[in-house]
Amino acid sequence: MNRINQKLKEDKKLLSIYFTAGYPNIDDTVTIIQNLEKSGVDMIEIGLPFSDPLADGPTIQASSTQALKNGMTSELLFEQLKAIRQSVSIPLIIMGYFNPMLQYGVEDFCKKCQEVGIDGLIIPDLPVDVYHSDYKATFEKYALINVFLITPQTSDERIQYIDSVSDGFIYMVSSASTTGAKVGFGKEQIDYFERIAKMNLKNPQIVGFGISNNDTFTQATKNEKGAIIGSAFIKHLTNKGVKYFDSFISAILGKH
């Protein structure tokens, strides 16, 4: 069974952390992954930096720009991750845009993911219908889960279709804006969380965008399986470095 599906079966609310590969420094990727697992996170999203990251807010965009300046590429990321499964056991997901994967070759990219132990991909600009018709068989051949995003604007019909094509979790974007930390969620977002929960989808949902502290984590996971933190963690990396994540993660989970 894929590690993502195993993790989703656990009787707890899940915390997934996103960071940009090659940031702050080109060689930090493995250290960050190992230290995140030690600090108690459930899943890690490794961002593959791209020059035109449409869904990302300023914090993640800045980290992508720096990672590209540092020299991060798909090839280098796979090289860095080649021994990661000797030290890390939690699910690892690559989040990136489709263009670098196309340039690499979709099948070659998927094959490399399987070789190094990647469990899934999140590709915000790959439409679900294109994935379904052109790439699903390739992803399944290499045992990769593809995770799709929904927003408050996604129609129920589209959500049902995404649910039918998915085999892992659905990434619930908390708002229609780009990524970034929020102070709290408003009524519109809470209503959206409750609306999706009532749809009884077969795939659990994990909420991303705007989660930065225990309050937003608790709100996001009241009806859903877990939450993803990106911008707030990258700010922590920028300010504190790649070593000590325990206090950051404990604060999110309310374990002071």
State the catalytic residues.
45, 56
* Closest C-alpha to 94, from 209, 179, 35, 16: 16
Distance CA 221, CA 54 (A): 26
Long-range contact set of residues 87-91: C-beta below 8 Å, sequence gap at least 24: 87/30, 87/34, 88/33, 88/34, 88/37, 89/3, 89/37, 90/3, 90/7, 90/37, 90/41, 90/42, 90/43, 90/44, 91/2, 91/3, 91/4, 91/6, 91/7, 91/42, 91/43, 91/44, 91/119, 91/120
Long-range contact set of residues 233-236: C-beta below 8 Å, sequence gap at least 24: 233/17, 233/18, 233/19, 234/18, 234/19, 234/20, 234/23, 234/59, 234/60, 234/63, 235/59, 235/181
